[in-house]
């Protein structure tokens, strides 16, 4: 019988977010709620599966893993781009990659969380909540800052960054923006002033990152950028952890130079002994950006449809159609 693995269901929402009954009638489905410790652990758990249904870029699936899964015939991804998956290796091995379409109307969710992190960091909301639950009140809570009249710097003025600019405008904040290809006209159209990267980090009271992770953008926020930030400024990251020099970030929050409001990290899940877990001047959430009910109600039903169509011999939403020919050659060659 075909075996289907639903990977990285960290919140335990996959089973109730879709009707899996038709797939279950034709395949053995296993839901994995924990991340694998390393590639060897992933191989040991997944070697007997034909279909892997992944969730965004949670699980790394490089060539070194793909070639060690002899039964693998299909990988399901959410949306059409997944930097964690080596699609070329899948194609060479005859493994079809099938994607989902859209966020189910929840495309604003990440920018909404960025706004929440900004306000939480500015007003010390997590510390206040912790105090109340521990029987305390205002004692020990740092004085917050008002955001009206302050300056928000946005790195990356795409869909999410543009939404963040509009949220900032609603808060009566001034907005600066920078990215490699940003034009003055585009920035002005979103209510922002185009400035250099150096000026953005020097002038902003808070900075929000909205950049896609790529070889070009990895480490785009370095130690020099963090050092330029105003004392007490807030750095919000809901994009990807490796955009920022993590060692420099940890040093800055431990020294009390800045506050970091983070939804993403270099390694996820964040290791239990990671210094950010005990660092001062931080607000941390476990990569919740896109993860709302509306997203799950789109991703998981489409993932189930993709698996069912593949089992039926008529795959849909195929990202790499050339893989089919390669699998036939491997099977009959």
Segment 116-159, tens digit of pLDDT: 999 999 999 999 999 999 999 999 898 999 999 999 999 999 99
Residues 6+ apart with CB under 8 A from 314: none
User: Hey, which residues are catalytic here?
Assistant: 240, 268, 287
Q: For the residues 295-323, what does the mean pLDDT come to? A: 97
> pLDDT-derived band of residue 331, with 50, 70 and 90 as boundaries?
low
User: How many Cβ atoms are within 10 Å of 316's Cβ, its own excluded?
Assistant: 13
Q: Is 225 helix (H, G, I), strand (E, B) or coil?
A: helix
pLDDT at 330 over 90: no
pTM (two decimals): 0.95
- Say if CB 160 and CB 176 are below 8 A apart: no
Q: For the residues 22-44, what does the mean pLDDT come to? A: 98
Q: Is the peptide bond before 278 cis (omega within 30 degrees of 0)?
A: no
Within 13 Å, how many C-alpha atoms sit on residue 4's CB side?
Answer: 24
| Predicted pLDDT of residue 225 | 98
Strand order in 233-237's β-sheet? 193-194, 174-178, 151-155, 206-209, 233-237, 258-262, 282-284
Residues facing residue 97 across a β-bridge: 75
In this structure, what token pair is assigned to residue 211?
């950049």
| Predicted pLDDT of residue 332 | 47
Please state, in angstroms and rounded to a whole number, the distance separating the CA atoms of residues 143 and 160. 29
Write down the mean pLDDT value for the chain: 96
Instruction: Characterise 124 by phi-psi region: left (phi > 0), alpha (psi -120 to 50), beta (else).
Output: left
Which domains does the chain carry?
Answer: 2-104+292-332 (3.40.50.720), 109-284 (3.40.50.720)
């Amino acid at each position: 019988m075909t075996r289907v693995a639903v990977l990285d269901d960290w919140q335990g929402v996959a089973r109730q977010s879709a009707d899996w009954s038709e797939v279950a009638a034709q395949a053995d489905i296993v839901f994995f709620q924990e991340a694998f410790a390393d590639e060897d652990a992933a191989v040991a758990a997944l070697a007997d599966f034909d279909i892997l249904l992944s969730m965004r870029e949670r699980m790394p699936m490089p060539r070194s893993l793909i070639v060690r899964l002899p039964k693998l015939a299909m990988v399901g991804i959410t949306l059409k781009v997944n930097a964690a998956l080596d699609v070329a290796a899948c194609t060479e091995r005859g493994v079809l990659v099938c994607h989902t379409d859209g966020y189910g109307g929840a495309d604003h969710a990440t920018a909404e969380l960025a706004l929440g992190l900004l306000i939480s960091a500015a007003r010390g909301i997590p510390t206040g909540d912790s105090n109340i639950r521990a029987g305390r009140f205002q004692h020990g809570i740092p004085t917050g800052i008002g955001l009206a009249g302050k300056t928000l710097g946005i790195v990356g003025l795409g869909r999410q960054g543009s939404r963040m600019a509009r949220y900032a405008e609603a808060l009566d904040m001034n907005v600066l923006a920078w990215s490699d290809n940003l034009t003055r006209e585009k920035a002005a159209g979103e209510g922002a002033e185009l400035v250099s990267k150096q000026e953005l980090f020097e002038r902003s009271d808070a900075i929000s990152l909205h950049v896609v992770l790529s070889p070009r953008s990895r480490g785009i926020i370095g130690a020099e950028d963090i050092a330029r930030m105003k004392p007490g400024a807030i750095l919000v990251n809901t994009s990807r952890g490796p955009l920022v020099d993590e060692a420099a970030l940890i040093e800055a929050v431990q020294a009390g130079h800045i506050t970091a409001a983070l939804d993403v990290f270099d390694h996820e899940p964040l290791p239990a002994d990671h210094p950010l877990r005990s660092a001062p001047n931080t607000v941390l959430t476990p990569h919740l950006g896109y993860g709302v009910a509306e997203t799950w109600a789109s991703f998981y039903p489409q993932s189930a449809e993709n698996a069912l169509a593949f089992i039926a011999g008529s795959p849909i939403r195929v990202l790499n159609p050339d893989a089919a020919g390669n699998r036939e050659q491997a099977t009959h060659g």
